[in-house]
Amino acid sequence: MRRCLRLLSSWKFLPNRDRILFKDRKEALREFWRISGASLIFHIGFACLLFREFAFPTPDIVYDIKRRISPDFDLYCRFGEKAEFHLDLSNKVRMFKKGEQIIEKDKETRQSPEARFGGAV
How far is Cα of residue 64 from the mean position of the Cα atoms in its chain?
16
Q: Which residue has the higher pLDDT, 44 or 3?
A: 44
Q: Per-residue pLDDT for 120 more than 70? A: no
**Range in 17-26, 39-48, 102-111 with the lowest mean pLDDT:** 17-26
67, 77 contact by CB (below 8 A): yes
Average of per-residue pLDDT values in the chain: 79
Confidence of residue 79 (pLDDT cuts 50, 70, 90): confident
pTM assigned to the model? 0.34
Mean pLDDT of 78-97: 74
User: CA 50, CA 86: separation in Å to the nearest integer?
Assistant: 42
